[in-house]
Amino acid sequence: MTAPFDSEDKCLWLASSCQDLIALCLRRDADLNRLLSGTRIFPANLAVEHHRIAARDWLNLVRNCRRQVPVDDLAFMTADAMLANRDHAFLQMLQCAPDLGSALRAWHRHRAGFLPLVQVSPAGSDRDLSLHLRPAIGLQGQDAFVTELTVSLLIGLVRHQLDDATSGISIELTTQRPADIESYRLHWRIEPSFDAPVNRVRIAYPLLFRPFAGSDAQRFAQLQAGLRALSRHSGRRIGLLEFLRRRMRRALPQLLGLEQAAAALSMSGSSLKRLLKQHGVSYGELIDEVRSELAWTLLREQRWSNPRVAERLGYANEHNFRRAFKRWTGRPPSAVLAP
């Protein structure tokens, strides 16, 4: 398996990940040198079509942009600018898809190099598709911006291609409810739920199959071919935290030990501990994330019983599982069962 990328690895295409954000800030009278301060991005790089940058540099750029343009809707406006950019091959490809379901599959297939910093885990029920969003690496305090940007791109895609048909979509965010949520209502046409256990977008199944207004099968295929060529050049690596979560989930009901995970990365357990500390998370917290997300899916989407979920997650008994679930979410398993 290809080694995962870290915050120092050049995993992002500068043109697709930065240019619209920088242009937006410059229109708001931001200073370019201050925007690029603390990054390894130089003004000359902005004109290079296939220049790649490290995740750390992109996150520092986002921090600088938020400081110079301190508005609540910067992520929303950035997503709108990206979707309108005719030179943005990835997003133009999504808008040529036959429908939302095809667009989501293409998003997952080609996200490397564009916005691989978010792990999107799908889970289906008999009513809708649920997309769980988690950071693929440590986001250095920019978690809310990255989540809002990702959700805004998805909602913007739906609004552009399905005539503002957002009534079959709900959004849950882990952030605290802000005093003013008008930006969410204005840009998403949806009022999200806040203080949720995970960031999640739920999409009713009928929306997945409605034809896109801009569907173009030939262009969809052409743009995907171009993105595949870029992927062959740059690789299709996933982030360190996503890499570990995937391995932890595959191991369940057995718990993947620290030394086992470290061996998969060709490092010692102590080195992995130090590396995870740089990403703002511990190994135990990652295991809790994986168990919590799977428990939520099995309870709410698949309607499993508590004893069955406890066994699947590797707990000795139902009581231990219920106690862990309340520690993760602040409520008992019965509180999240689907109606």
Pairing between β-strand 118-124 and β-strand 52-54 as defined by DSSP bridges: unpaired
Number of domains the chain contains? 2
Q: Rg of the chain over CA atoms, in angstroms?
A: 20
Q: Take residue 89 and report the two structure tokens written for it.
A: 């091959």
- Could you tell me if residue 291 is inside a domain? yes
Sign of the C-alpha dihedral computed for residues 269, 270, 275 and 276 taken in this order: positive
Query: How far is it between the farthest Cα atoms of the chain?
Result: 60
- Could you tell me if residue 57 is inside a domain? no
**Same domain? 211 vs 269:** no
**Same domain? 213 vs 261:** no
Beta bridge partners of 173: none
- Token pair 């133009």: residue: 92
Picking from 178, 212, 234, the residue at the C-terminal end of a domain is: 234
The full DSSP string for 226-285 is HHHHHHHHH----BHHHHHHHHHHHHTTSPPPHHHHHHHTTS-HHHHHHHHHHTT--HHH
- 83 with 95: CB under 8 angstroms? yes
- Could you tell me if residue 156 is inside a domain? yes
**Same domain? 228 vs 109:** yes
- State the Cα–Cα distance between residues 115 and 278, nearest whole angstrom: 20
Q: E strand or H helix at 289, and its extent?
A: helix 283-296
Picking from 234, 253, 282, the residue at the C-terminal end of a domain is: 234
- 143 with 136: CB under 8 angstroms? no
- Could you tell me if residue 48 is inside a domain? no
Please tell me the predicted confidence (pLDDT) of residue 113.
Answer: 67
Q: Take residue 323 and report the two structure tokens written for it.
A: 């106690």
**Same domain? 296 vs 205:** no
Q: Take residue 133 and report the two structure tokens written for it.
A: 């969003």
Please tell me the predicted confidence (pLDDT) of residue 264.
Answer: 95
Cis omega (within 30 of 0) for bond into 253:
yes
- State the Cα–Cα distance between residues 211 and 215, nearest whole angstrom: 7
Residue 81 lies in domain = 72-234
The full DSSP string for 205-218 is HHHHTSBPTT--HH
CA distances from 115 to 44, 107, 127 (A): 22, 10, 28
Per-residue burial over 246-258, b if 16 or more Cβ lie within 10 Å, else e, is bbbbebeeeebeb
CB proximity list for 194: less than 8 A, separation 6 or greater: 172, 173, 175, 176, 177, 178
Q: Phi and psi for 130 in degrees, rounded to 5?
A: -110, 125
| pTM (predicted TM-score) | 0.92
CATH code of 318's domain: 1.10.10.60
- 95 with 214: CB under 8 angstroms? yes
**Same domain? 131 vs 210:** yes
Q: Tell me the pLDDT of the chain (339 aa) as tens digits.
A: 567 999 999 988 888 889 999 999 999 999 999 999 999 999 999 988 788 999 999 999 999 999 999 999 999 999 999 999 988 899 999 999 999 999 999 999 888 767 789 999 898 878 899 999 999 999 999 999 999 999 999 999 999 999 888 889 999 999 999 988 999 999 999 999 999 888 999 999 999 999 999 999 999 999 999 988 877 766 668 999 999 999 999 999 999 999 999 999 999 999 999 999 999 999 999 999 999 999 988 998 788 999 999 999 999 999 999 999 999 988 899 887 655
**Same domain? 309 vs 262:** yes
- State the Cα–Cα distance between residues 331 and 295, nearest whole angstrom: 13
For 224, what's the count of Cα atoms within 13 Å in the CB-facing half-sphere? 17
91 alpha carbon, distance to own chain's centre: 15
For the sheet with 169-172, list strands across it: 118-124, 128-135, 199-204, 169-172
Picking from 215, 234, 253, the residue at the C-terminal end of a domain is: 234
- State the Cα–Cα distance between residues 316 and 323, nearest whole angstrom: 12
